[in-house]
Chains A and B, each alone.
Chain A
Amino acid sequence: MSNPYEAIPAIILKTFDETPNIRTFVLKPEQEIPFMAGQFIELTVPGFGEAPFTPSSSHFKRDILEMTIMKVGKATGALFGLKPGDTVGVRGPYGKPYPLEKFAGKDIYIVGGGVGLAPLRALFLALTHEIDKYKRIYLRYGARTPNDIVYRHLLPEWEKLPKVDVDLSVDVSDEKWMKKVGVVTCLMDEIPCDEKTSIAVVCGPPIMMKFVNQRLLEAGFQGENIYLSMETNMSCGVGQCRHCRLGPYLTCKDGPVLTWAQIKDIENPFV
């Protein structure tokens, strides 16, 4: 019987600094982790702890896992001290993937904030890999300053993709910034897709999710079409320990992505 609490080794192939406190780690696990966009893995920094992260790479290329991680606590602090060639542990995949079958033939309106673009990138790559299946992909992304934008080297390429529409904002600009200034909802004054049928996917800090969700509802998006990445404390990742309870859900098992229709009755879902 396999042991669900145990990680397998993964070697750090390379790292890339996205911003001063966000870094992308390219990992090669000993065995392939068969994840789908939206699912997460538990990442162990040996000796320092374990935390859940959603891969940001494409699920069509599973021999490596790219994880874009912000330095916030003990485990991520230690992770930032590791170098290519060092070993970490991974277990998973856990949770439910984005239901891509429900996205087929529709406009997909993706809204990200800060490091929240990381899991959305896995979704974006999965969608653009089979772009014929979807109507059009809108990506709206906001960061605090131009220096806090993740995937800066990739965004210009994404803008050029067919059937893809990208728009960016920063809360505080610098002299070189040519796009919008303001929180990410400033990109949502006009939503160029059919609100009744389109899919919205949101990931970012809780306060950003709260206001983006509110804006989407005002615009007419249906609760069951708004997909929100819910951040909760997780320990086991496998639906047992109950740390991640959110209303009647365990985000590790039922999430981490839940629709607004699922969580609308929960008191303060965005804490």
Chain B
Amino acid sequence: MTRILIDPVACDAYGYCAELLPEAITVDEWGYPIADGEPLPAELVDAARRAARDCPRRAIIVQELRAGA
């Protein structure tokens, strides 16, 4: 299972992640991303990794959770 975490200290609201992955990331009224924290559907995992790579602040964490975790 995979999910997205956002490091709120690193994040500077560039907003690329919400553009690259609108299915799982929205932004608040100040432009900071909100990840829904839900398990990521398998078809979105590649897009999530790209969003993490493209984040200028490296604030996106794509977290693999072991089964049962």
Query: Do A and B truly interact?
Result: no
- The residues of B with any CB-CB pair to A shorter than 8 Å are none
